[in-house]
Amino acid sequence: MRTGFLLLIILSFAACKPDRKVNTSFYYWKTVYRQNAVENAYLQHLHTRQLYVRIMDVDMGENGADPIPVSPIIFQDKLADTIQIIPVVFIVNDVLRSTTPGKLNILANKIKTFVDGKVQQAGKAGYQELQIDCDWTTQTRENYFYLLKQIKPLLAGKKLSVTLRLHQVKNQKTSGIPPADGVLLMCYNMGNLRKYGPQNSIIEVSELKKYLGENLAAYPMAMDIGLPLFSWAVVFRNKQYIGIDKRIFFDILNHQKEFASGGGNLYTAKTDLPAYGLQSGDEVRWENSDAKNIQTITAYIGRFLKPGNVKVLYFHLDEAIVKKYTYEELENTAHLLR
């Protein structure tokens, strides 16, 4: 009788446990916004109601003294009425290295004014959230947190969110907890891009586990999750990193007259290929984010996330990128967090 009663209590608590609500969204990281039928279909099928749109980068101007907007987005089309805009501003870490509170006050106001203007160009009367993206360090933490504190009251009740890198989760004591209303964990670019070899620096499950686990469970703020959908070609010359070449696509690497497979994700140029900036003997490492790996890290993260609602943001919304994934693959990925 006692065992049956205890079982009834356990089942009652299990029945009362709320499911985590997961909303799916995307980043839009292009410098020109245009309506696109394929991209809109993904938004509609995944019931996306918010689009996180990169408004601009903030970097130091040529005078080295004042920050300026870099590559701000141009809206050739308006956003659909059914989509809310969440503006995102990327701040280059060097902007924060040597500055004064007075200049940070000015920067906070300029960011707010610039964002408001771009939101209007997008055809929106306003926005509910501003996200600041910055890979701050222990050296820039004080200035970055000060800037966030200056931006927050300018938003008049709107949400202020910030992005979070894996190292900032692991090193919470030295990195600090940002003074924001919410954080989004960027679960990509987690390996050593410049290291020669067959690894995949975009998404490495073993590398992710080094940073998260109990560190994620111990983080004092609830967080949303950013997942990668992109791929790129990493080029090495004499086994030394020389850069990412956006002109090289996976199909090109399978041209046997131009490239030889080195096994795995490594390819070697057979001859000089000036169209791609390659010399004979250069090696290309193809890195991508396949659905299986994305789902593996999502399932792992789900074990440590705090209870409550969560957004999954895919990086990023571009026809050439998203059409490599089925609706079901993206839906199933988000479902792993429920």
pLDDT attached to residue 190:
87
- Average pLDDT of the segment spanning 288-313: 94
Query: Quick check: 9 pLDDT over 80?
Result: no
Same domain, 131 and 250: no
- Average pLDDT of the segment spanning 327-332: 96
**Backbone conformation region of residue 17, classed left if phi is above 0, alpha if psi is from -120 to 50, else beta:** beta
Same domain, 274 and 295: no
Domain assignment present for residue 14? The answer is no
- Say how many domains are in the chain: 2
Query: Quick check: 172 pLDDT over 80?
Result: yes
Q: Rounded to the nearest 5 degrees, what angle is found at the Cα of 304, between the Cα atoms of 303 and 310?
A: 90
Boundaries of domain holding 56: 20-231+288-335
Query: Quick check: 5 pLDDT over 60?
Result: no
Same domain, 74 and 114: yes
Burial 37-64 (b: 16+ CB within 10 A, else e): eebbebbeebebebbbbbbbbbbbeeee
pLDDT-based confidence at residue 338 (cuts at 50, 70, 90): confident
Range among 1-10, 90-99, 116-125 with highest mean pLDDT value: 116-125
Same domain, 182 and 53: yes
Domain assignment present for residue 56? The answer is yes
What's the pTM? Answer: 0.91
Query: Quick check: 13 pLDDT over 50?
Result: no
Cβ within 8 Å of residue 290, ≥6 positions away: none
Same domain, 253 and 191: no
Of the residues 245, 271, 286, the one at which a domain ends: 286
Token pair of 126, please? 């306003």
Query: Quick check: 154 pLDDT over 90?
Result: yes
Query: Quick check: 335 pLDDT over 70?
Result: yes
Same domain, 309 and 266: no
Per DSSP, the residues of 189-218 read --S-TTS-SS--SS--HHHHHHH-THHHHT
Q: pLDDT exceeding 70 applies to what percent of the chain?
A: 94
Same domain, 148 and 219: yes
pLDDT in tens, 50-95: 999 999 999 998 877 789 999 999 999 999 999 999 999 999 999 9
Query: Quick check: 301 pLDDT over 90?
Result: yes
Distance CA 4, CA 267 (A): 63
Query: Which helix H or strand E contains 225, and what residues bound it?
Result: strand 223-228
Domain assignment present for residue 12? The answer is no
pLDDT attached to residue 1:
45
Of the residues 248, 270, 286, the one at which a domain ends: 286
Closest CA to 183 of 43, 306, 42, 59: 306
Query: Quick check: 239 pLDDT over 90?
Result: yes
pLDDT-based confidence at residue 48 (cuts at 50, 70, 90): very high
pLDDT-based confidence at residue 18 (cuts at 50, 70, 90): very low
Amino acid in position 331: E
Q: Rounded to the nearest 5 degrees, what angle is found at the Cα of 60, between the Cα atoms of 116 and 162?
A: 50
Average pLDDT score over the chain: 92
Same domain, 280 and 313: no
Query: Quick check: 10 pLDDT over 90?
Result: no
pLDDT attached to residue 62:
81
Domain assignment present for residue 9? The answer is no
Closest CA to 281 of 247, 254, 258: 258
